[in-house]
Homo-oligomer: A and B are copies of this chain.
Amino acid sequence: MPGNSFGKIFRLTSFGASHDPWIGGVIDGCPAALRLDREAIQVEMDRRRPGGNPLGTARNEADRVELISGVLDGTTLGTPIALLIANKDARPQDYDHLKDTFRPGHADRSWEQKYGVRDHRGGGRSSARETAVRVAAGAIARQLIATAGMRVNAFVTQVGEARLEAAYDTLDLSATWNEPVRCPDAATAKRMTEAIETVRAEGDTVGGIITCVVSGMPPGLGEPVFDKLHADLARAMLGINAAKGFQLGEGFAAAAMRGSAYNDALIADDTGAVTTSTNHSGGIQGGISNGENIVFDVAFRPVSTLMKEQRTVDREGRSVVLEGKGRHDPCVVPRAVPIVEAMTCLVLADHWLRQRTARL
């Protein structure tokens, strides 16, 4: 059953695999009359593109986005926006040895269990190559929600043992893009970079954590019960390759806290404007944004493909030893930062439009 669409009103349908001629997507539900800045879309693509980061894969793709419908003279028409991104630097021959062998930690075997057939070339559609489509669509969503003042900033807060300890509101988040490792604090960025270089040198990989902050939030976004704003954010984040955990505000640390310490007190100023004294709840209460910054973390597992021998099985159920091959990132988090932002933008665009129908 379809699982390749995301969103109820602002809705992305994604297609394409690592070694198809193109990957692409269709956005249905983007309102008419939005002025689109195409270069701003490309800026996002460049932040994610393979070949654009010294810490990442050697695969090199220009990732120029072609908008082939839904936009006329720079303005959206209300019709579906289709986008295409060419796969140019594919090397299917690199994957011949995987046709009948399942890589440990990868989706190779579970996809075969599901469908009985599988595109083994570069992992097929389970490849993170598909996330380029999300970044392009997210860049359009970002321009939509910017009209309502929302700003989305993600950055790396952990790589292996190297953690960013400073609170986000003490940092200049615009510095994130200065560092290939995508941590806005230069000293921490250095430690993270070293951690990645170390595992790369050993043919190994390492995990990490990305934090995302949304400022300029309008209150009232998110639907009660099942479609809580953070529930949809969690689903969006765990739909990213290698993501294994999500927490909002204090998250798992809240388990050890008392209510008297956790509750965000409501404070009114002289004009009757209300804020919260703290933001332990991460800007969402009862599933609905309260106007404070949204803050959440996403945990990523280490990349599955090692440049080392690993024990595994083939399609006939025979034990084999797999050598590491292909072009892969040693750590996914630097290149996942724009993906986290993109998925956040898609969730917010959808909920912002949903909110238009909440009141008479």
Contacts and interface: CB of A to CB of B under 8 A. Distances in A.
A272 B79 contact: no
Contacts of A93: none
5 contacts: A32-B115, A78-B117, A238-B246, A239-B287, A252-B297
A24 B82 contact: yes
A21 interface: yes
A355 B357 CA distance: 10
Given A68-B21, A356-B357, A107 B286 contact: yes
Given A262-B301, A266-B313, 7 more contacts: A6-B226, A15-B68, A32-B359, A115-B359, A205-B259, A234-B238, A238-B248
B78 A115 contact: yes
A80 B17 CA distance: 9
Interface string A309-322: 01111001111000
Contact of A266 (B34, B109, B125, B147): B109
Contact of A353 (B28, B118, B258, B357): B357
A255 B302 CA distance: 7
A299 B252 contact: yes
Contacts of A170: none
Interface in A189-239: 199, 204-209, 219-228, 230-232, 234-239
A243 B256 CA distance: 13
Interface residues of A, number: 157
A317 B272 contact: yes
Contacts of A60: none
A297 B244 CA distance: 11
B26 A1 contact: no
A255 B158 contact: yes
A174 interface: no
A166 interface: no
Contact of A31 (B14, B32, B286, B358): B358
Given A31-B358, A319-B268, A207 B82 contact: no
Given A29-B1, A78-B114, A245 B239 contact: no
A310 B264 CA distance: 10
Interface in A81-124: 81-82, 102, 104-107, 109-111, 113-119, 124
Nearest to A283: B110
Interface stretch (A49-57, A175-183, A288-296): A288-296
A38 interface: no
Interface in A333-360: 353-360
A43 interface: no
A202 to B, nearest CB: 8
